[in-house]
Amino acid sequence: MSAATAGPDPGTVHLWFCPNEALDEATGDMLAEHWLDEQEHDVARRFVFPRDRRQYLVAHILVRRVLSLVTGVPEAEATIWRSARGRPFLQVPSGAPTRPSLDFNLSHTHGCNVVAVGHGRRVGVDIERLDRADERGLEWIVSSYAPEERAYLATLPPGRQRDRATLRLWTLKEAYAKARGLGLGLPFDSFSFELAEDRGVLGFRPPEGDTEGRWVFAELEPRPQVLVSLALEQGTGGTPAPSRLLVHDGFPWGRARPRELPLPQAHPDLPVPAGAGR
């Protein structure tokens, strides 16, 4: 498999960023018709506003396209299974060659979509737009954060700087909660992050039952004011730690060369509890 796809290299994590406009509406509708499963069609039919339906369609077409590039399984034939909490997993067809188990996660917001794919590890991703912050402002979400995060935010001047830090923390929290498959079911004050000044994480206090050393976090900004965070599980069962992040931009019609971004190193000295949080 080419280096431009999420091949079987278990140390490599791939991220696809795709704005809605990368897929015109007529093509999107046509692909959705052919590729999405019954459950996805069902959800798509229920949207009241066309822009929400379009957002959903582009995101789900992107997921199927990415999974097809990674596995070679045609888009319409991928079976996506969802946990009781709604986390999607790719169901491996019986008789498929053994390979490190693939994990993926999707996030979409206001015309932007992102899909992360890893092998042999859980991945979680979240995307938020700073330029489309809630009309109420961001102060209201801070009350769900851990005390040390609230204290840190209170030291920042209100406005741009505090909003940015607030949203960086939000995307990190969601990415972690989504990697765990718990989503908003995980209380956001039960774990915390210490932010590096511009980008990246200096410290992570995990919730009960998990360890700091089990995770690596990365932040990127694929477009100005568009914040993306990734939570990547360290290698388990012989899988190496994540060592490279390849970022693909646009709708992946072909195998365009991705951009490589450095990944921070996790703490090798911190043990990972057996089966933590599975």
Ligand X SMILES: CC(C)(COP(=O)(O)OP(=O)(O)OC[C@H]1O[C@@H](n2cnc3c(N)ncnc32)[C@H](O)[C@@H]1OP(=O)(O)O)[C@@H](O)C(=O)NCCC(=O)NCCS
Which residues does 222 contact at the CB level (< 8 Å), separation at least 6? Answer: 17, 112, 114, 228, 247, 249
Question: Rounded to the nearest whole angstrom, what is the least distance from the CB of residue 268 to ligand X in the complex?
Answer: 27
- Find the part of the chain contacting ligand X (CB under 6 A) among 178-186, 244-252, 256-264, 266-274: 178-186
Site residues for ligand X, 84-143, by CB under 6 A, read 85-88, 105-109, 126
Question: Rounded to the nearest whole angstrom, what is the least distance from the CB of residue 33 to ligand X in the complex?
Answer: 17
User: Is residue 174 involved in binding ligand X (CB under 6 A)?
Assistant: yes
Question: Rounded to the nearest whole angstrom, what is the least distance from the CB of residue 185 to ligand X in the complex?
Answer: 4
Closest by Cα among 36, 60, 277 to 178: 277
Query: Site mask, ligand X, residues 193-232, x = CB under 6 A?
Result: ----------------------------------------
Residue 74, both tokens? 């045609």
CA atoms in the 13 A half-sphere facing the CB of 146 = 17
Residue at shortest CB range from ligand X:
183
Closest by Cα among 34, 84, 85 to 60: 34
Angle between helices 50-71 and 38-45 (to 10 degrees): 160
Residue nearer to ligand X on the CB measure, 4 or 130:
130
Strand 88-91 versus strand 79-82 pairing type:
antiparallel
Find the binder of ligand X among 13, 23, 59, 245 (CB under 6 A): 59
Going from the C-alpha of 27 to that of each of 65, 66, 73, 106, 190, the distances in angstroms are: 13, 17, 21, 21, 43
Closest by Cα among 239, 234, 244 to 270: 234
The dihedral through the CA atoms of 205, 206, 211, 213 has a sign that is: negative
Find the binder of ligand X among 16, 17, 56, 191 (CB under 6 A): 56
Find the binder of ligand X among 14, 54, 65, 178 (CB under 6 A): 178
Residue nearer to ligand X on the CB measure, 88 or 111:
88
- Find the part of the chain contacting ligand X (CB under 6 A) among 24-32, 81-89, 226-234, 236-244: 81-89
In the complex, the residues that contact ligand X under the rule CB under 6 A are 56, 59, 85-88, 105-109, 126, 174, 178, 181, 183-185
